[in-house]
Amino acid sequence: MEQKIQLTVDAVVFGYDAGDISVLLVKRKYEPFKDAWALPGGFVLEHESLERAVERELSEETGVRINYLEQLYTFGEPGRDPRGRVISIAYFGLVKPNAFKLQAATDAQKAEWFPIKELPKLAFDHKIIFDTALKRLQGKITYEPLGFELLDKKFPFSDLEKLYATLLDREIDRRNFKKKITSLKVLDELNEKVSIGPGRPASLFSFNRKRYFQLKKEGIIFEI
């Protein structure tokens, strides 16, 4: 008996903006799950790499183009797709939502950012894929300096604290956090200050890209 297995890719794209985290979803145009919300994705073409497939599907269904998505996990539970035996390779990434103009096409009616705590019911097993991606993201930022590129080129240290507290979904020890980040030498303190509410003006920082990417490559662990 011939076994027919099909391959798809799905993209979990998180957006971070001013202390809020969202995820990019599309409203499906066709069955199965017509009119339901789902992660962007689709079938891999015969002569297409997985990376090219997920970039193409993301671009076609949402208008978003991302240079790098990290492979997350393989989802292949029997019955996960009513069309037959379908295995999905999921990818995830973290971006600034306002850097893109959403434009749905192909088999997506609509593309939209949703706050991660206000998700609609998702098609297929996409809630499981989303949960897996969120756990991976939260784990990743404890061993890699992640997400600095989501901040403005110049930022007060409080913006970095807010980024990590939001991604981890918990309060962080501010003094300890600053000590650990400072020890990594990924920040350059600028000779500029900004007023943030009452009190003394706060120093502005920029991140040292060379040092930052070196640490990412090394996979430095720093518990927060």
Q: Which helix (H) or strand (E) is 37 found in, with range? A: strand 37-38
pLDDT at 101 over 80: yes
Read off the pTM: 0.88
Note the pLDDT of residue 144.
Answer: 74
- Round the average pLDDT of the chain to a whole number and report it: 90
The reported pLDDT for the residue numbered 148 is 73
- What does the alpha-carbon distance between residue 65 and residue 58 come to, in Å, rounded to a whole number? 7
Structure confidence at residue 106 (pLDDT): 85
Bridge partners of 23, per DSSP, are: 14, 114
Domain 6-140 indexed as CATH 3.40.50.11600: no
Check pLDDT > 70 for residue 67: yes
* Among 59, 55, 89, 60, residue whose Cα is nearest residue 75: 89
The answer, yes or no, to whether residue 159 has pLDDT greater than 70, is yes
Work out the pLDDT band at 1, boundaries 50, 70, 90. Answer: low
Averaged over 198-223, what is the pLDDT? Answer: 81
* All structural domains of the chain with their residue ranges: 6-140, 148-218
- Considering the domain 148-218 in this protein, what is its CATH number? 1.10.10.10
